[in-house]
């Protein structure tokens, strides 16, 4: 039987602007079901990350699940990972701008400055503390989802409205970049 998916909260829903609550019991069966449903929702929506506030649960939980898909054709592959009570322990001094989208803000992409290298700590779904370093696209996903736990959406980080485009224009831009790379070889 297929796992039921969530409707994704959209920009304007107040839950997206509230700080999320810490999780105290990782073994709670309801929490485990929430994680399974978030994984199914992410897969169905072609997302690379999903935070609990986006599915109307004010909990410090998100999933990072990078893999190539129609929304992110060049995404690297990463095993879907549930991250509970995550935190950024350290980050690179610089920030790099790149395009981001969000399942809660469909149809729009923005150039968002993020740290290209971060060290993080989180609890996995089995209750074990994990420490990892992420770079580039995976670091970007983590920071994007981490923002959701603090009531921040990517539009808050865009420095100019001139750095917003539609999904259609973003996909054209990606195709153009791929074409330039293949002709320069």
The full set of domain ranges for the chain reads 14-183
pLDDT score for 3 = 81
Residues 6+ apart with CB under 8 A from 183: none
Which residues does the annotation mark as catalytic? 145
* 14-47: pLDDT as tens digits: 999 999 999 999 999 999 999 999 999 998 998 9
pLDDT at residue 165 tops 70:
yes
* 111-132: pLDDT as tens digits: 999 999 999 999 999 999 999 9
Query: Cα–Cα distance between 20 and 128 in angstroms, integer?
Result: 20
Give mean pLDDT, residues 79-98: 97
Please report, rounded to a whole number, the percentage of residues in the chain having pLDDT higher than 70. 97
Query: Cα–Cα distance between 30 and 171 in angstroms, integer?
Result: 37
Query: Cα–Cα distance between 158 and 153 in angstroms, integer?
Result: 10
Which helix or strand (DSSP H or E) is residue 148 part of?
Answer: helix 136-148
* 90-107: pLDDT as tens digits: 999 999 999 999 999 999
Give the other-Cβ count within 10 Å of 74's Cβ: 9
Assessment of whether the complete model's pTM goes beyond 0.75 = yes
> Mean pLDDT lowest for which of 40-49, 55-64, 146-155?
40-49
Computed on alpha carbons and rounded to an integer, the radius of gyration of the chain in Å comes to 16
pLDDT at residue 185 tops 70:
no
CATH number for region 14-183: 3.90.45.10
Q: What is the mean pLDDT of the chain?
A: 94
Bridging pattern class, strands 117-123 and 49-51: unpaired
pLDDT score for 184 = 64
User: Which three-class secondary structure string do you get for 2-30?
Assistant: CCCCCCCCCCCCHHHHCCCECCCCCCCHH
Helix, strand, coil percentages in the chain from 3-state DSSP, rounded to 5: 35, 30, 40
- CA 37 to mean position of chain CA atoms: 16
Q: Which three-class secondary structure state does DSSP give residue 175?
A: helix
pLDDT score for 98 = 95
Query: Cα–Cα distance between 123 and 38 in angstroms, integer?
Result: 17
Strand partners for 117: 135
pLDDT at residue 1 tops 80:
no
């Amino acid at each position: 039987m297929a796992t039921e998916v969530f409707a994704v909260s959209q920009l304007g829903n107040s839950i997206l602007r509230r700080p999320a609550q810490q999780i105290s019991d990782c073994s709670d069966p309801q929490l485990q079901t929430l994680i399974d449903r978030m994984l199914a929702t992410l897969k169905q929506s072609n997302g690379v990350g999903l935070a609990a506030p986006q599915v109307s649960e004010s909990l410090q939980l998100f999933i990072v699940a990078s893999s190539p898909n129609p929304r992110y054709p060049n995404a690297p592959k990463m095993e879907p990972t549930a991250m509970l009570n995550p935190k950024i322990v350290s980050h690179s001094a610089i920030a790099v701008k790149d395009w981001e989208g969000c399942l809660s803000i469909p149809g729009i992409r923005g150039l968002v400055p993020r740290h290209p290298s971060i060290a993080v700590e989180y609890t996995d779904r089995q209750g074990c503390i994990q420490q990892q370093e992420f770079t580039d696209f995976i670091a970007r996903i983590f920071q994007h989802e981490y923002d959701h736990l603090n009531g921040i959406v990517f539009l808050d980080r865009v420095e100019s409205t001139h750095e917003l485009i539609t999904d259609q224009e973003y996909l054209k831009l990606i195709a153009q970049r791929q074409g330039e790379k293949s002709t320069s070889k």
